[in-house]
Amino acid sequence: MTYENTLEFAKQQDAHDPLKSYRNKFYFPVINGSEAIYFTGNSLGLQPKSLQDYVLNELEDWASFGVEGHFHARSPWLSYHEKFAAPVAKIVGAEPDEIVVMNQLTVNLHLLMVSFYRPKNERYKILCEAKAFPSDQYAVESQVKFHGYKPEDAIIEVSPREGEYCIHHEDILEAIEKNKNSIALVMIGGVNYYNGQVFDMKAITEAGHKAGAVVGFDLAHAAGNLKLHLHDWNVDFACWCTYKYLNSGPGSVGGVFIHQNHLNNPVTPRFTGWWGHDKQTRFKMEKGFVPMPTAEAWQISNAPVLSMAAHKASVDIFNEAGMDTLTAKAELLTGYLEFIIDETNNKRNLRNEKQAGFLEIITPRDKKQRGCQISIVAHGHGKDLFNKLTTAGVISDWREPNVIRCAPVPLYNSFEDVFKFGEILMDCL
Ligand SMILES: *Cc1c(COP(=O)(O)O)cnc(C)c1O
């Protein structure tokens, strides 16, 4: 597409947008009396207007039925979590029995490593990306320590090359090959939270398996952002949060994928609780754990229905919109943001990446290696630039020392948002 830096062009694109009606399904924060340009759906997605009703239904049913709501609520709580298997499977490219919605992201990451990080003899290392989201680093470090290893020995981090921000894909594959006798687990973020780089999950999974390792992904920034094929890619396990692109509210319930290859495997260890027990006999309350034949076997506690109701509201919107339509728009919209930022440098006659004032895009320019997010290094600027943007009505995200992350998300952001952001950016600079 040939982009133009005009309001007319942006409005034209919005008029042809098959998802244009979806913007109206969300609440936007208001700054100085007008709707903010909200580019932080990668951090906390906006609230769907329908969500209150989903949650209120459960509150009403609780008021009406008390404990009987487990059976008599409009969506009985006993099986509430089962409503997610099919629609969430569509969002991440899985089979329904491979999906369970439970707990929260880092907790799930630990539970999955209990099952799938099984160090033995010389095969005990975890390969991950350098500068992963801190929670993942802490989780991985504590897991290797828990098994009696030293993080500096047992964790292999693949870094960007000197002076670069993104990791070369071939460097990941090479690191897997080089350590093929010692890696037990490859655990990478599907999308790096900082620079927005998307990793080739299919190729990494293949390479990891060839090396004899288990392969899992943290999809915090990938679920609801990218078209995923977790089942077909043979990914062993994955987990994600639902409050970023999936708009399910602060700290909402997490999502988990476990490949069919691992369901019903009696030697896979796991931490268990009653909600993972075979539902036919769960309430006999007898001794002896019998696992569910699905990913539900990993559930420990009974389902947090209030946050699940919020998640359900959002999942319904995703399934109505469809990941194909969403990702098609995301590609165009992110491309437009990239164009607008380049234009900002051009208009100010800045062409050198290290020049003061230059806005350097550190997210890959290759569309296959990014989703909705563009990260910008604002050379020669400090947090004052970000503060000015906020005052002018842009909600973006600031990472020290000078990185601005912007995520124009296809469900509720428009081309006009991106155009206006460009104008405001010029003003603030
Ligand atoms: C957002 C995010 C988290 C947050 O973890 P919680 O357990 O939900 O608090 C963890 N890892 C990654 C990669 C993230 O992007």
Which residue's CA is minimally distant from atom 8 of ligand 1? 105
pLDDT band at residue 357 under the 50/70/90 scheme:
confident
Helical segments of 194-286, H only: 201-210
Ligand 1 binding pocket includes 241 (Cβ within 6 Å): yes
Residue 69 near residue 77 (C-beta atoms within 8 A): yes
pTM over 0.85: yes
For residues 317 and 312, give the distance between their C-alpha atoms in angstroms, rounded to a whole number. 9
Please check the confidence at residue 349 and state whether its pLDDT lies above 90: no
Predicted confidence band of residue 378 (pLDDT cuts 50, 70, 90): very high
pLDDT above 90: residue 355: no
The answer to whether residue 400 scores a pLDDT higher than 90 is: no
In the numeric block, the tokens 């991985």 are attached to: 140
E strands present in 165-213: 183-189
Ligand 1 centroid–CA 221 distance in Å is 9
Atom 1 of ligand 1, nearest CA residue? 220
Count of residues in the chain: 429
Amino acid 166: pLDDT: 96
Residue nearest to atom 10 of ligand 1 (CA): 135
Positions of E strands within 175-296: 183-189, 214-218, 237-240, 254-258
Pocket-testing residue among 137, 138, 198, 241, ligand 1, by greatest number of atoms within 8 A of Cβ: 241
| Pocket perturbation via mutation, ligand 1, pick of 101, 129, 136, 372 by most ligand atoms within 8 A of CB | 136
pLDDT recorded at residue 364 = 97
136 lines ligand 1 (CB under 6 A): yes
- The 8-class DSSP code of residue 244 comes to S
Ligand 1 atom index nearest CA of 43: 1
Question: Residue 351 pLDDT > 90, yes or no?
Answer: no
Task: Determine the average pLDDT of the residues in 221-243.
Answer: 98
pLDDT of the residue at 145: 98
Q: What is the pLDDT of residues 316-345, one digit of tens each?
A: 999 999 999 999 999 999 999 999 999 999
Is the minimum distance from the CB of 81 to ligand 1 under 6 angstroms? no
Q: 136 C-alpha vs ligand 1 centroid, how far in Å?
A: 7
Q: Which ligand 1 atom is nearest residue 136's CA?
A: 11
Atom of ligand 1 nearest to the CA of 189: 13
Q: What is the pLDDT of residue 289?
A: 93
Q: Using the predicted structure, report yes or no on whether residue 282 has a pLDDT greater than 90.
A: no
Q: Could you please report the per-residue DSSP string of 118-159?
A: --BTTB-EEEEETT--HHHHHHHHHHHHHTT--HHHHEEEE-
Is the C-beta atom of 3 inside 6 A of ligand 1? no
For residue 241, which atom of ligand 1 is closest to its CA?
Answer: 8
Q: Average pLDDT for residues 391-419, to the nearest whole number?
A: 95
Angstrom distances, CA of residue 333 to CA of 144, 156, 189, 326, 407: 41, 36, 23, 10, 10
How far away, in angstroms, is 63 Cα from ligand 1 center? 33
Is 202's pLDDT higher than 90? Answer: yes
Any ligand 1 atom below 6 A from CB of 104: yes
pLDDT in tens, 104-147: 999 999 999 999 999 999 999 999 999 999 999 999 999 999 99
Domains and CATH numbers, the chain: 7-47+322-428 (3.90.1150.10), 54-319 (3.40.640.10)
Please give the distance, rounded to the nearest whole angstrom, from the Cα atom of residue 194 to the centre of ligand 1: 12
Give yes or no for residue 397 CB within 6 A of ligand 1.
no
Asked if pLDDT for residue 353 goes beyond 90, the answer is no
Q: Which residue out of 42, 193, 397 has the highest number of ligand 1 atoms within 8 Å of its CB and is therefore the one to mutate? A: 193
Q: What is the atom index within ligand 1 of the atom nearest the CA of 109?
A: 7
Distance CA 113, CA 218 (A): 12
Average pLDDT, the chain: 96
101, 111, 133, 221, best to mutate for ligand 1 pocket (most atoms within 8 Å of CB): 133
